Amino acid sequence: MAAQRPKKILIVEDEPEIAQLVKHYLEKEGFHLCIAQSGIEGQKLVASEHPDLVILDLMLPEMDGLEVCKSIRQKPETALLPILMLTAKNEESDTIVGLELGADDYVAKPFSPKTLVARVKALFRRLERTTDHKPTSLIYGPLQMDLVRHEVTVKEKEVSLTAKEFGLLEHFLRHPGRVLTRDMLLNAVWGYDYHGMTRTVDVHVRRLKVKVPFLNKSIMSVKSLGYKLLDQPLLQ
């Protein structure tokens, strides 16, 4: 059996020391790395290098990380490309905007390289789906989730979701009627013990409801705890 090709990661970071540090640690884990030092260069390398994941700094010359993220999400061929943002601790509002635009995760500077590697691996784990002993699809009212093709359709019309949105929806569909705390969702979908902004889950749930409007009434907020997907969808 042919060996699986190494995953390719694009780092878009204008500080060479940080870019080289990230590159060093990820290459030790077997990933293939390429580096862009500006937003425009990063945008070009996304198109030419076809990376499997982008690590994107927010503060970039020529074009900032938010614009790069928006550009990636607007193109059908890169709409599902996993994006991990690098942010400064005082950029919380920009981080929220980045998550709203479709980034899958973020790491605040200064960061531990090992933590960054763990986040990258967690993102890839969400994409590596097997069908052994698991259903190949999940159905909720007019919504159908194909776990093999990584596709979601509503009334046979495809809905474009990011990796995190897909994982969040899958977790809801696997546990209908159950109250899921934010910590439970973070651990299940993000794949690690999460210590950061508590709004991360809220942002992703809100984005999911925008993309799948009938979930507005079907995913209920449970005060001070988290969310619950109703056993049966509320359809109008």
CA distance 123 to 119: 6
Q: Tell me what pLDDT residue 178 has.
A: 87
Residue 196, pLDDT > 60, answer no
% of residues, the chain, pLDDT over 90: 51
List, for residues 120-131, the tens digit of each pLDDT value: 998 887 666 443
Which of the four pLDDT bands, split at 50, 70 and 90, describes residue 83? Answer: very high
Residue 219, pLDDT > 90, answer yes
Which of the four pLDDT bands, split at 50, 70 and 90, describes residue 223? Answer: confident
Q: Where does residue 124 rank: exposed (0-12), middle (13-18), buried (19+ CB within 10 A)?
A: middle
Look up tokens 């499997």; give the residue: 52
Residue 2, pLDDT > 60, answer no
4 Cβ contact partners less than 8 Å away, ≥ 6 residues apart: none
Average pLDDT (208-212) is 95
**Checking DSSP bridges between strand 143-146 and strand 151-154, what pairing results, if any?**
antiparallel
Count Cβ atoms below 10 Å from residue 92 Cβ, excluding itself.
Answer: 15
Threshold 0.75, pTM exceeds = no
Enumerate domains of the chain plus CATH numbers: 8-127 (3.40.50.2300), 137-229 (1.10.10.10)
Look up tokens 């390429």; give the residue: 34
Q: Tell me what pLDDT residue 72 has.
A: 92
Which of the four pLDDT bands, split at 50, 70 and 90, describes residue 140? Answer: very high
CA distances from 119 to 16, 115, 134, 167 (A): 21, 6, 25, 15
